[in-house]
């Protein structure tokens, strides 16, 4: 996803009242960024969250982080372009919809949470074209904006 489209995606997240949950490795804490502070999001990795989904669970060791399998959070990895190495790290959003609890029972996550995730997926599919990208001697199908395709055509590798 190009920066321009990412900015539009952030506007959509703001409109939908998502929060960013970000791990601060330096201080070993989790930081919550609400809509007013979206401009402060400068990391490549975060979780998207709404309080109405319910409680999220924190792992303490070896560092503070959210437990994504049992927590109602959407993993968000931003597309990262490394100009020095000429690589593009693919962005993604991802969730776990169900898991087994400590007693072995299958637990399904909140229906509204899953519905919101699917809305984010639809937004991306609507705003980021699905296309063939030629890399070396093979063809991949990817959701990629023109900016990303142009970089691949200039010799950047998708990783």
**Is residue 133 domain-resident?**
no
Burial label, 73 (beta-carbon count in 10 A; 0-12, 13-18, 19+)? buried
- pTM of the full structure: 0.88
**Is residue 115 domain-resident?**
yes
Number of domains in the chain: 1
**Is residue 109 domain-resident?**
yes
Instruction: Please list the residues that pair with 87 across neighbouring strands.
Output: 82, 157
Mean pLDDT, the chain, integer: 90
Tell me the C-alpha to C-alpha distance, in Å, between residue 133 and each of 1, 58, 86, 92, 156. Answer: 14, 39, 16, 17, 11
**Is residue 141 domain-resident?**
no
**Is residue 64 domain-resident?**
yes
- Looking up tokens 């970000």 gives 22
Residues of the chain where predicted confidence (pLDDT) is lower than 50: 36
Q: What is the pLDDT of residue 29?
A: 78
Angle at CA of residue 45, ends 41 and 47, nearest 5°: 85
**Is residue 143 domain-resident?**
no
Q: What is the pLDDT of residue 132?
A: 94
**Is residue 62 domain-resident?**
yes
Cα separation, 74 vs 95, in Å, equals 5
Q: What is the pLDDT of residue 137?
A: 85
**Is residue 108 domain-resident?**
yes
State the alpha helices, DSSP H only, in 2-153: 3-15, 111-127, 146-153
Residue 53's domain spans which residues?
3-128
């Amino acid at each position: 996803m190009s920066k321009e489209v990412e900015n539009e995606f952030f506007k959509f997240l703001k409109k939908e009242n998502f929060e960013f949950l970000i791990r601060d490795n330096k201080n070993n804490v989790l930081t919550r960024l609400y809509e007013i502070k979206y401009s402060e999001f400068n990391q490549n990795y975060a979780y998207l969250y709404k309080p109405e989904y319910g409680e999220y669970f924190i792992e303490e060791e070896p560092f503070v982080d959210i437990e994504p399998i049992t927590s109602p959070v959407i993993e968000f990895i931003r597309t990262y372009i490394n100009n020095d190495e000429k690589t593009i790290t693919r962005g993604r959003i991802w969730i776990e919809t169900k898991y087994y609890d400590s007693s072995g029972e299958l637990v399904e996550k909140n229906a509204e949470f899953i519905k919101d995730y699917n809305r984010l997926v639809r937004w991306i599919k609507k705003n980021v074209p699905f296309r063939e990208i030629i890399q070396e001697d093979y063809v991949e199908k990817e959701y990629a904006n023109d900016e990303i395709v142009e970089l691949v055509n200039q010799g950047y590798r998708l990783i």
